[in-house]
């Protein structure tokens, strides 16, 4: 089962191309600071705007850079079932530990359509699959009963839950079983998500605060709830700032401010963070003690 702080990696761009040096440096910095897993090509990695060859190159590069030190969960979900099968098959062949598959966006499938989509992919590619349920972006919401049906498929092993509905954790456990891996997709709710029975978080914030995010989960696993709660409260202003507007706009700006990116460039239709968003991020970085102090370490990593 996947647990702890798992970073939903951003994709660095420079002059319209992937900045591979920044990508490699970010991976090393994440692992050095205790991150317990990495997700390349998720929606935080701007997967909808990546070309197919870019998507595959990022997955391969991440797996090669990680060298088995932490699990790599490749984002492989699209609103086409056939393309999802193709990308999931590629991720398996490349050596990914699992695939994160977002609910098909725009198509607006019914619950039966969602069931058929995930089951078809799982039967076509024998790799552990994590359902990514994010109604705010995909428009559809997989209900716990549908998830319970899919949990019976042997290689559908968990969910990234971005509903922000904490009651889902227990409902999904009831429908899917205690062994079903539940990972939060909402940074701001992580402490309460763990309290309800969750196992970890696929995190945007961990891009900028990998050590604090990892320490929160380590404290929780060690039974030190007070420490975990304190870290959660300390991170709250940063969680809020990083979702001031559409992610990954604010997190890319934050990483640039910390010296981990030379550019906060995004792919259209996303644009750089606005002035109000930048001010919110600057304030949050300054307020979360220790992050700006890590700036020199980040700069050294970037060479």
pLDDT value for 1: 81
What pTM value is reported for the model? 0.95
The pLDDT confidence band at residue 171, using thresholds 50, 70 and 90, is very high
pLDDT band at 293 (very low <50, low <70, confident <90, very high): low
Domain ranges of the chain: 4-224
Query: What DSSP element (H or E) covers 184?
Result: strand 181-184
Catalytic residues: 132, 160
Instruction: Report, at the CATH architecture level, how domain 4-224 is classified.
Output: Alpha-Beta Barrel (3.20)
C-alpha 12, offset from chain centre: 15
Residues 6 or more apart whose CB falls under 8 angstroms from that of 238 comprise 205, 208, 209, 284, 285, 287, 288, 291
Per residue in 116-150, pLDDT (tens digit) is 999 999 999 999 999 999 999 999 999 999 999 99
Residues 214-238 pLDDT 10s: 999 999 999 999 999 999 999 999 9
Q: What is the pLDDT of residue 64?
A: 98
Angle CA(237)–CA(138)–CA(10) in degrees, nearest 5?
Answer: 50
């Amino acid at each position: 089962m996947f647990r702890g702080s798992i970073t939903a990696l951003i994709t660095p761009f420079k002059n319209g191309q992937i900045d591979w040096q920044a990508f490699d440096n970010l991976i090393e910095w994440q692992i050095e600071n205790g991150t317990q897993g990495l997700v390349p090509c998720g929606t935080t990695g701007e997967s909808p705007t990546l070309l197919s060859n870019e998507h595959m190159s990022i997955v391969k590069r991440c797996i090669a850079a990680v060298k088995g030190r932490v699990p790599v969960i490749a984002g492989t979900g699209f609103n086409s079932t056939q393309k999802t099968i193709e990308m999931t098959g590629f991720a398996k062949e490349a050596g990914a530990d699992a695939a994160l598959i977002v609910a098909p966006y725009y198509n607006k499938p019914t619950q039966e359509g969602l069931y058929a989509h995930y089951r078809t992919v799982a039967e076509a590619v024998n790799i552990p699959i994590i359902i990514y349920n994010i109604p705010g972006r995909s428009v559809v919401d997989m209900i716990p009963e549908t998830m319970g049906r899919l949990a019976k498929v042997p290689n559908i092993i968990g969910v990234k839950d971005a509903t922000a509905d904490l009651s889902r954790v227990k409902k999904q456990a009831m429908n899917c079983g205690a062994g079903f891996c539940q990972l939060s997709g909402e940074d701001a709710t992580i402490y309460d998500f763990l309290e309800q029975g969750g196992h970890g978080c696929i995190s945007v914030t961990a891009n900028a605060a990998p050590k604090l995010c990892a320490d929160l989960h380590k404290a929780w696993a060690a039974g030190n709830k007070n420490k975990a709660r304190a870290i959660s409260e300390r991170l709250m202003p940063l969680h809020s700032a990083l979702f001031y507007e559409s992610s990954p706009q604010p997190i890319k700006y934050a990483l640039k401010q910390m010296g981990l990116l030379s550019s906060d460039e995004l792919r259209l239709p996303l644009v750089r963070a606005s002035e109000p968003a930048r001010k919110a991020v600057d304030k949050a970085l300054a307020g979360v003690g220790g992050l700006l102090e890590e700036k020199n370490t980040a700069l050294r990593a970037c060479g």
